[in-house]
Amino acid sequence: MLSIDLNRYPAEPGVYQMYGAGEEILYVGKAKHLRNRLRSYFSAGGDGRLHIPLLMEKVQRIEVIVTDTEKEALLLENTLIKKHRPRYNIDLRDDKTYVSVRIDLNETFPALQLVRRVKNDGARYFGPYSSAAAIRATLKEIYRIFPLRHSSMERCRKRGRPCLFYQIGQCSAPCQGKIGEAAYRKLVDGVIDLLEGREAHVIGLLKGQMQAASAELRYEDAARLRNQINAIRKSIERQKVTDYGGGNQDVIGIHRAGGDVEVVLLFIRQGQLIGRRSYSLEWIFGWQELLTGFLQQYYSREVIIPDQLLLPEPLENAELLAGWLSEKRGRKVQLLAPQRGEKFRLCRLAQRNAREAFRQRGSRREARAQLLEELQGKFHLPVLPRRIECFDISNVQGTHAVGSMAVVIDAEPALAEYRRFKIKTVIGPDDYASLEEVLRRRLQRGIEEQNLPQLIMIDGGKGQLGVLSAVLDEFGLQTQIGAVGIAKSRVVANVRGKAVEKSEERFFLLGRKNPVSFRSGAATLFLLERLRDEAHRFAVSYHRKLRSKAGLRSSLENIPGVGPARRRALLKCFGSLKRVQAASLSDLKQAPGLPSKLAEIIYHSLKS
């Protein structure tokens, strides 16, 4: 074990980083008193945490960064964990964000937006919702009841008449002056009441308006209000769930079994359970580090922070975390570990959900382990291929060449790890040289960040595999990273020559003449084919995006009278090159500073 002089370390708040033999950062922690915290790692009996001996066997040196306050240490710790992703800190690899509904009440005519990132911009956010399709269906019903605008005011005002949504009764057309600000604000209030779960209040208001309209003999308005009331009641019946009391809460449940941990978040909004999120982690440390690390990583993202977090057990640094969350949110946030009552029942519910999620993942975890073991045996790999990367190149006659990298981790897609590469050094249609550039850039960065795969798969045969072999040899990674080339299936005639049959995919290995094959329908074959298809899709979509942008930019540049300043003005007015191309002649004529004659020339040039 490492031997250090603890008196050399400061008795101040700060962050400590533990380094391994390869100068990789193994663990990042914070402390209110650095010297005392480090002393706990080197005391004879440790501090009771089971992970200490395991960690300290690998630590070669420790560095500290002093901060003025414990709060600053908390923020720095979070930054360093995100940057270095240490092996012994919590890593929430799945950063998929759920959708939320945004409405900015500071606008004159606020509109609803579906977003995946929650920003501290003064707008109201509702959610999160696990199903984008479900919330879109809900918003469709809301628009029928409260017809808010759908598009930006600037874009709609350029039209000569109200949009189609106005014609079908799902927009009140404030852009065309069809509704005043006060009346529109009433629609907004109704939408907020619905999203916050106050359907009874909305129904009461609509009933009053319906009765008033009927008394004034405005029967069409009364019928419209009656239909709105019926639509809300039907929506309530479809979405009715158990009432858990008032307030917005996130409830955390944790289930541990050895080194495997399942963390579940229940989202309670206005007393109703609207969704659930679960994470599967590997963790051998104590409860305090687990819960603290999870809260830091999850809520450092752009997610909705509720009024209260209900925890399965008290946290030593709950006050510090509550202060950080309150500052991030702009309003007070409480961290509670209830021992009785309704909140305690919610914590028990979260715990049960965590146990059930762990049970459901158990069979999938075993199947993934078997799949990786099969791949290791088939491809003669020294270790399990927990991280597999697949590369593909896309171009048309050498123009706008791009590369892509699709990734699976533990046999599951890791979308956040996907990468795109714009080819910089290759001129002309040279797939081999393009692949070499992409691989060199990827491995160089992987070495710097200590984030390398156990297996690289190339979409191609022996030629592409030879390029991969040369690059691995250049970086000295031949023995650390497995290499496989996946060649597309062939269409061959059957024995009678009257029909054709499709052969299975072929996998080529370095130093082996004949390809490796898998039985038809094998899970391993499906995984590798899916990974190859993902890399191809990712490359082609990026290539098409660059080609489309370049084509439109080129078409603008070739129009007489449209110089750099005019192009910038058009982009500022319409927002993108694609929207310039889609603009109507009347839209172009209304663009500021654009002469009518030039607008006609641009329109006909782009449409030809």
Name which residue leads in pLDDT, 266 or 159: 266
pLDDT-derived band at 250 (thresholds 50, 70, 90) equals very high
Average pLDDT of the residues in 217-242: 68
How many helices (H) and strands (E) the chain has is answered by: 19, 20
Amino acid at 114: L
pLDDT given for residue 364 in this prediction: 65
Asked whether 602 and 562 are in contact (CB, 8 A), the reply is yes
Return the H-helix or E-strand segment holding 65.
strand 61-66
In 240-389, where does DSSP find H-type helix? Answer: 287-299, 318-329, 341-379
pLDDT given for residue 491 in this prediction: 57
Closest C-alpha among 149, 97, 148, 105 to residue 123: 105
Q: Do domains 249-360 and 387-544 have the same CATH topology?
A: yes
Pairing of strands 455-459, 482-487: parallel
pLDDT-derived band at 242 (thresholds 50, 70, 90) equals very low
Judged against a pLDDT cut of 80, whether residue 576 lies above it is answered with no
Sequence-distant (≥ 6) Cβ neighbours of residue 514 within 8 angstroms: none
Mean pLDDT for the chain overall: 81
Q: Which CATH class is domain 6-84?
A: alpha beta
pLDDT given for residue 336 in this prediction: 92
pLDDT given for residue 472 in this prediction: 92
The C-alpha atoms of residue 406 and residue 420 are separated, in whole angstroms, by 9
Average pLDDT of the residues in 371-383: 89
pTM of the model: 0.56
The C-alpha atoms of residue 563 and residue 566 are separated, in whole angstroms, by 5
CB-based burial label for 361 (10 Å; 0-12, 13-18, 19+): middle
pLDDT-derived band at 66 (thresholds 50, 70, 90) equals very high
pLDDT given for residue 389 in this prediction: 93
Give the rounded percent of residues in the chain with a pLDDT score beyond 90: 13
The residue behind tokens 């400061």 is: 10
pLDDT-derived band at 252 (thresholds 50, 70, 90) equals very high
Architecture of domain 249-360: 2-Layer Sandwich (3.30)
DSSP 8-state class, residue 519: -
Mean pLDDT is lowest, of 193-207, 316-330, 414-428, for 193-207
Average pLDDT of the residues in 230-258: 67
Tens digits of per-residue pLDDT, 524-543? 888 888 888 888 888 777 66
Return contacts of 286-289, CB within 8 angstroms, 24+ apart. Answer: 286/48, 286/49, 286/50, 286/51, 287/254, 287/313, 288/315, 288/316, 289/49
Pairing of strands 272-282, 260-269: antiparallel
pLDDT-derived band at 382 (thresholds 50, 70, 90) equals confident
Architecture of domain 387-544: 2-Layer Sandwich (3.30)
Residue 62 pairs in a beta bridge with 18
Average pLDDT of the residues in 577-590: 79
pLDDT-derived band at 240 (thresholds 50, 70, 90) equals very low
Amino acid at 336: L
Distances (CA, A) of 424 to 61, 89, 310, 421, 570: 40, 36, 51, 9, 29
Left (φ > 0), alpha (ψ -120 to 50) or beta: where does 601 sit?
A: alpha
Name which residue leads in pLDDT, 559 or 81: 81
**b/e per residue 144-181 (b: at least 16 CB within 10 A):** ebbbbbeeeeebbebbeebbebbeeebbbbbbbeebee
Q: Determine how many CB atoms are found less than 10 A away from the CB of residue 184.
A: 20
The C-alpha atoms of residue 305 and residue 323 are separated, in whole angstroms, by 13
Q: Determine how many CB atoms are found less than 10 A away from the CB of residue 21.
A: 10
Asked whether 138 and 162 are in contact (CB, 8 A), the reply is no
Judged against a pLDDT cut of 70, whether residue 189 lies above it is answered with yes
Tens digits of per-residue pLDDT, 3-57? 778 888 888 999 999 888 878 888 888 888 898 888 888 775 555 555 667 777 8
pLDDT given for residue 503 in this prediction: 57
Amino acid at 453: P
Average pLDDT of the residues in 276-299: 82
Domain ranges in the chain are: 6-84, 102-239, 249-360, 387-544, 558-607
Tens digits of per-residue pLDDT, 460-490? 888 889 999 999 999 999 889 999 998 876 5
Give the rounded percent of residues in the chain with a pLDDT score beyond 70: 86
The C-alpha atoms of residue 606 and residue 194 are separated, in whole angstroms, by 44
pLDDT given for residue 387 in this prediction: 93
pLDDT given for residue 400 in this prediction: 64
Return contacts of 599-607, CB within 8 angstroms, 24+ apart. Answer: 601/559, 601/560, 601/561, 602/556, 602/559, 602/562, 602/570, 605/555, 605/558, 605/559, 606/552, 606/555, 606/556, 606/580, 606/581
pLDDT given for residue 335 in this prediction: 93
The hierarchical CATH code for the domain 558-607 is 1.10.150.20
Residue 336 pairs in a beta bridge with 310
Closest C-alpha among 465, 512, 506, 510 to residue 487: 506
DSSP 8-state class, residue 249: E
Distances (CA, A) of 529 to 211, 455, 485, 489, 521: 63, 15, 12, 11, 11
Mean pLDDT is lowest, of 172-186, 305-319, 477-491, for 477-491
pLDDT-derived band at 243 (thresholds 50, 70, 90) equals very low
